[in-house]
């Protein structure tokens, strides 16, 4: 993606949306881990929980990449996965919103 300008207000909107999505995904993961932990009945459940956490941690580390060069792709993915609503990005330029929508369409094809 070509380098593009982000205004100060766009950066604030982007940062808030990004943090909000991360907070939601982590809240969901915390609930899943608490539930899985309650169900631990044998040693193998421990190692399955460990594997699950390893995978989820890597997933979150890779997904939440706040470089402006990839941020529209990140937002499209977060919307596609349900961690973010498009209207939480209101205030970004129409061009950026259109590009996010196009990425989403490609994802959904």
Residues 15, 84: contact at Cβ < 8 Å? no
Q: What share of the chain is helix, strand, coil (3-state, %, to 5)?
A: 75, 0, 25
63 vs 44, 45, 60, 77, 78, CA distance in Å?
28, 27, 5, 8, 9
Stretch that binds a second copy, among 2-10, 11-19, 23-31, 83-91 (CB under 8 A): 23-31
What x/- string results for residues 43 through 82 when contact with a second copy is judged by CB under 8 A?
Answer: x-xxx-xx--xx--x-------------------------
Task: Write down the least CB distance from residue 33 to a second copy, Å.
Answer: 6
Q: Where does this chain bind a second copy (CB under 8 A)?
A: 22, 26, 29-30, 33-34, 36-38, 40-43, 45-47, 49-50, 53-54, 57
């Amino acid at each position: 993606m070509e380098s593009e300008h982000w205004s100060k207000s766009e950066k604030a909107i982007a940062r808030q949306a990004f943090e909000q999505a991360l907070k939601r995904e982590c809240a969901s993961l915390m609930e899943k881990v608490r539930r899985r932990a309650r169900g631990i009945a044998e040693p193998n459940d421990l190692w399955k929980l460990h594997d699950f956490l390893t995978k989820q941690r890597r997933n979150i580390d890779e997904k939440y990449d706040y470089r402006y060069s990839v941020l529209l792709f990140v937002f499209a993915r977060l919307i596609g996965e349900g961690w973010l609503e498009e209207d939480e990005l209101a205030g970004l330029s129409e061009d950026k919103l259109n590009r996010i929508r196009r990425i989403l369409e490609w994802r959904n094809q």
